[in-house]
Each structure stands twice: as structure tokens, then as C-alpha cells.
Structure 1
């Protein structure tokens, strides 16, 4: 297990280049943040505050879905879940955001034959990871509640060579959960590392299956983060070392053996 490096970060005023709706409550936003884009790695996130509003007071964390260091841009894919994201979804090109990042420790790019497993909005941070592995034959196993939520195949179509889809109600792909297909994929012994992001219950199941087949697995945890820099302790989780891990600074990406499930 590699030691985690100190994460460089900066705080900048980022101009929105464009924003569009993917579904009625999911949006994709591209912002200009060259200082952050120059050093961002897959699995890291940014902490954003709306510059023209006093409410919400606290910043909100957003996974970096994509990054173009040559253009100096970041892409965020997010769902409207409260007042902050609702206000953010109404912003237009030219508006600015107070953007701090890149934050957290990202994925360790240790595999040559990676399997990516994502559920719901957990597929957002896996996109940049998949693009980083473009020289490999990366495979994606994705899941969602229904076909309406599974707009992701269009986003990943030119990124991953193989895509397996599950939906809870069977309206798209295999009826069931992502973990239903995971044992069959790992039995083929084509993969040397698993990367996963999604709901906690999904990650716990993925960790158990990966351990059964002796395949290293990294997970990106989704926790509420108030400060994003390890000061408030609102995002801690139990670690196997006996200490509480700070998801915002020790993570959000962990090897599965670092986490108490």
C-alpha cells in the first residue's frame, strides 16, 4: 500500500464556461480553473461556494468528473439535492464560483487491467479515471435505479471498451444490482484491480467480492463534508488502523482494507 502524498490546493474564482441539463435534476458544468486543472488527479474533488449569495454559507464538495489541463477546465456532473445545488443549477455562462481544490487523495493508478464499478452519481468521479486508463482495455460495470437514471452509457461510450449495465427495476440492462454481475466478471481473471464509487452498501458488497477473488480494490467514499480540509471532523469513518479516517483528506479514495465496513 503506497503512502498518501500531501495534496496541493488553491482557491480561485472560476468562471462558468457552460452548463446544461442531462436530466431534470442532473447537470453538467464546465468551469475555467487552470490552476486546479493543472494538478488535479482522478478521484479528487473541489469545494465550491456561490460567490453572489450568502446562502448557503458552507461550501459544497463536487467530484471532478473530467479535467483538461491544456484548456484549464474542470467538468462537474452533479445532482440537485438541496438549496445550494438548486441555486447552482440556475447559474449561466459567465457567472463565477469560489472554487477550492483539488482536494483529497485520488485513485492509485496501479492496474493494467482495471474494472470500474459505479452506482448512481458515483459514476461521475470514475469518468476521469476511465479516461486516464485510455491506453488500457478498461471495463465498466454501472448500475442505477432505472433507465431514466442511466444516462451514463452515452457519456462513457467512447471511453470504455466494455460496459455492463444493471438497473434495479430491469428497465435497462440486467435486472438487479451491480454486485450481481461482479463475481462472474472477476471469475474470468481478466482484471488486476477494481475501482468503485457509489452508495455505501454497494461499496461494501464490492469490497467483499473483490476480497474473495483476491483482487486489490479501491473505493471512493461519499460522505457529508463541511470544511473539506480535515478541520471539522464531520466526514470521519472508522479505519482498520484504529483511528478515524477523515474522508476529505485521508480519502475520499481508500484501499478497501483501510476501511471498517
Structure 2
């Protein structure tokens, strides 16, 4: 979905999100968070990618071209591209791959090399592969049912490649279990990185405190305000495999 929002497009950074009122009136009552898939600053447009999973995304499918959309943003803290990086890995699971495409384009524009690892339940969930091939030096796919690429979860694939290769940093977004396993793997390999954590949220600005997530040190942080991007070293480790 393309939305013309010049002020958001100019200010947006990879990893940030927007909070969208999906329907008309009071239903659904709460806004929904959507990562920024791509930004065209010259055209003043942002692009969102989503899968229909509930009343909010279903309402979005009924929007017509030219219809106004109530959007707050950009919100949250994005992915930092630290000076001196030359090669990074991007690891996305499901619709969590959305903010990584924006990051990949920004990284490529800065001269960085990106190897991309994408995972989904089935091949149909591997979104926009043609776009990824345009920005990735290497594109590796994983599906749990084996319909595309490696059969299994994407972290299994990353673990295998990590044995013989090591990036300067890993950037990830996907289910919390995926990020937790990546945190363990990255620490064991001596690799730093960042993960964008997914969470349901009501306000998007830290007022309701409904998106609290526990970090490795036992503290709780708000995904909407303190994240959604956190250092992998901060993420509480936990395997996501069988």
C-alpha cells in the first residue's frame, strides 16, 4: 500500500513505524502499527506491507485509491548503520521482513553489502522476492514446509552459514522467538547487531505501556518508545527451533 505523506517520508528512518487508524468511525477502535517497507522521499510516499490477519488489516483492504488514511508517525527508534560497516546480514521472518527492505536500500546507497535471509511458513509468505534480488548481494530463503529454499526456520539456515562466514553485524526483524535465538547465535559468534521486536500496542507513544518486553538484564522496555529496535546483546536469548 502506497500512502502520500511527505512529512513522514522526509523524516522516516529504517526500522521506524507508523500507527494507522485502519477503519472508519470507532471500529476497529485501536490503531495498528506498520513498519515502513519503503520510502520515496522525492514523491513524498511511504509504502506498507501487510498480511490480512484481523479486523484492522481487513479494513485496510477496503480502502480505495485517493481515500484519506489517518496515520501517526514516524514513531520509534530505527536501525542505526554504524560507521565502518562493510558487510551486514539482514534476517527477516514472515511480515517482519518489511522494515529490512527499507534498511537494505539505505545500506546499499551507503555502499554496504547486504546478505539477506528470509523465512516464512510457506513460499507464499516470502514477499516481494524480485525487489529483494535488486538490493541483496546474496538472497537465501527458508520455508518451514520446504516449498522454497531451505526446509526449516530461517535461524537454522543462518546458523549453518554462520559457521563458515561472519558478517560485521546482523539486523533482524520477525517473531520474538526468532530474535531471541539470533541473540544467542550472534553472541556465540562474537557478532553484534540489532533486532526490531514485534508487539501488539494500543497508543504507539508509550502512554498505555501495553507493549512492554523483557530484556536480557531483566528490565522491561516499551517497544513503541524505547524500540522497536534494540541491540541484539540486549535481547533475552531463547531458541525458536524444535
1:63-96, Cα deviation, whole Å (9 max, x unpaired): 0011111111000001111112101111111111
Structure 2 CA distance for aligned equivalents of residues 195 and 172 of structure 1: 22
Shift of residue 255 of structure 1?
0.4
The equivalent residue for 1:236 is 212
User: Matches of residues 14-25 of structure 1 in structure 2 within 5 Å?
Assistant: none
SS in structure 1 at match of 2:19? strand
The counterpart of 1:207, out of the listed 183, 198, 215, is: 183
Q: Which moved more, 1:103-112 or 1:32-41?
A: 103-112
SS in structure 2 at match of 1:96? coil
1:105 touches 1:253 (CA, 8 Å); kept in 2? yes
The counterpart of 1:192, out of the listed 168, 171, 186, is: 168
Query: Whose strand proportion is higher, 1 or 2?
Result: 1
Shift of residue 190 of structure 1?
4.2
Structure 1 CA distance for aligned equivalents of residues 4 and 105 of structure 2: 20
Shift of residue 55 of structure 1?
0.9
2:87 touches 2:167 (CA, 8 Å); kept in 1? yes
Structure 1 CA distance for aligned equivalents of residues 175 and 123 of structure 2: 18
The equivalent residue for 2:68 is 96
RMSD: 1.4
The equivalent residue for 2:38 is 66
1:10-67, Cα deviation, whole Å (9 max, x unpaired): xxxxxxxxxxxxxxxxxxx000000111110000000011473321122111000111
Q: Which moved more, 1:233-242 or 1:116-125?
A: 233-242
1:179 touches 1:206 (CA, 8 Å); kept in 2? yes
2:9 touches 2:39 (CA, 8 Å); kept in 1? yes
Q: Normalised by the size of structure 1, how large is the TM-score?
A: 0.85
Correspondence 1:120 to 2:94: yes
User: Matches of residues 30-69 of structure 1 in structure 2 within 5 Å?
Assistant: 30-50=2-22, 52-69=24-41
Structure 2 CA distance for aligned equivalents of residues 202 and 242 of structure 1: 19
Alpha-carbon spacing, 1:243–1:151, altered in 2? closer, same or farther (3 Å): closer
The equivalent residue for 1:77 is 49
Correspondence 1:163 to 2:135: no
State the number of aligned residues.
233
Query: Whose helix proportion is higher, 1 or 2?
Result: 2
SS in structure 2 at match of 1:155? helix
Q: Normalised by the size of structure 2, how large is the TM-score?
A: 0.92
Shift of residue 240 of structure 1?
4.0
Alpha-carbon spacing, 1:169–1:240, altered in 2? closer, same or farther (3 Å): closer
Structure 2 CA distance for aligned equivalents of residues 122 and 51 of structure 1: 23
